[in-house]
Structures are given as structure tokens and as C-alpha cells.
Amino acid sequence: MTESTATPIVELVDVTKVYPQGAVEVHALRGLTLTVNQGELVALCGPSGSGKTTALNLMGALDRPTGGQVRLEGRNLAELGGRALSRLRRDRIGFVFQAYNLMPVLTAYENAEIVLALRGVPPTERRQRVMGLLHDVGLEGMEDRRPDELSGGQQQRVAIARAIAGEPAVVLADEPTANVDSETAERLLALMEKLNRERGVTFIFSTHDARVMQHARRVVRVVDGRVQDDQTRDSSVTG
């Protein structure tokens, strides 16, 4: 993707985030500027407390910045009200959380389907899309299992299917390999890399896992709330 044809999905412009903590203030982000384009596979890395998860939460409209601008597909999130932000999260952003955040009373199929159901997508279309995704993530035949009947890696695969079912502009994954073993982590990363390559899904990871960085096409190092380094690998390099 060349600079002239790149389409920005997420833009953070001189973003600050300050959290009050008793009598003091914690500066999580200190003028962070970052643009992620459509189709990128980006890892935000850095030590604990560097601000990478805060940045991810701002991109996902789960929090608001203290200063600066966060834009999704050109829209300044600060200008949107609560209802508009809820629609934005539902329709344009996919989330993969550390703790999976699956609904325990729903099956794998129902968890993956939920965003489409909330949007009012017809049942036939929902089934076709969700069954295809569950096949893609290696869960064919496990559609009727509830989360407590699935391993950690299988639950994370359901979470990935749910995140991309609605064909969002971007998928935000917070430490996606934190709660799975090494073999499962490699399979999940290969899956997300495949979805990025074949479906054009834009992924942004928050991570301190070297394996995630090896699969990413671009690695952005965040230290003390600022971008310290931003490196893009050649697209011909494989993980």
C-alpha cells in the first residue's frame, strides 16, 4: 500500500490522557500521535504502564482523551454523543479482550452472532456469515458449545470470530495471547495474520509478547505515553 492510496482508519493526534489518582495525576499518554491505515497489522508494544492499553481504549471509544484528537474513519470521536459512540463501537470496531468477555449462557455460535443480531441482520445471512467464520477459525462442529465447554484458545477463537463478524473497520486486540499457551498463541496469531492477508481485516494489538511483534507488519513502541519507535516490515516477510 503506497502513501498516495493509503486510507487512514485510526488517527491519534497529539493525544494526552490524565487520570486523577488521589492528590496526584497520572499522565498515561503525553502527546501521542499515530495513524493506522486500512489493511495494516500493527502491534503497539512497550513496558507495563507505557500507555499502550490506554491508547487502544481511546481508539475503541471506550474512553475519552484529556487532550488532542482521536479520529475513526475521519470522524472526531469527541464530537459524538453516547448513542453515536455506541453505534460506532457496534458497527465499526471489533474487540478481542484478554479475558475473552464471552457471554457464558450463549453458545459459540450465539456469541459470534450477537453483533449481527443487534444490527438486525436477517437470520439466514447471519447463519451463513457466522458458520463461515467459525469454520475459518477452526471451530466447525463446536457451534453449540458454551464457553465453559471450550478451552482458553477456543474461547479466544470465538472472540475473534465475534470481532470480525460485523466486518468492522478495525479490530482492537488487547494482549490477545496473554491467557493461552505458546502453541495456541502461535495458532491464534497465524489465524489473525491470515484474516488480515486474505480478508483485509485491520488489526491493532496491544502487547508485550515478542511472538505478536513477529507476526505484525508494523511495530510501534510506546514508552512513557509517547511513540518512541515506529518500524514497518516488508510485506513479503512472513511470520
Task: For residue 95, give the C-alpha cell.
Answer: 474487540
Residue 239 has a pLDDT of 42
pLDDT(1) > 80: no
Residue 159 located in a structural domain: yes
User: How many other CB atoms sit within 10 Å of the CB of residue 8?
Assistant: 13
pLDDT digits (tens, 9 = 90+) for 20-62: 888 889 999 999 999 999 999 999 999 888 999 999 999 999 9
Predicted TM-score of the model (pTM): 0.88
pLDDT(227) > 90: yes
Residue 144 located in a structural domain: yes
Under DSSP, is residue 205 helix (H, G, I), strand (E, B) or coil? strand
| Range list of H helices, the chain | 52-59, 82-92, 108-119, 123-136, 152-165, 182-199, 210-215
Residue 184 has a pLDDT of 80
State how far the Cα of 235 lies from the Cα of 55, in Å rounded to an integer: 25
Residue 176 located in a structural domain: yes
Domain that holds residue 100: 38-64+83-232
What's the one-letter identity of residue 72? L
Residue 17 located in a structural domain: no
Q: Find the CATH number of the domain harbouring 160.
A: 3.40.50.300
pLDDT(18) > 50: yes
One-letter-per-residue 3-state SS of 55-68? HHHHHCCCCCCCEE
Residue 8 located in a structural domain: no
How many independent structural domains does the chain possess?
A: 1
Residue 152 located in a structural domain: yes
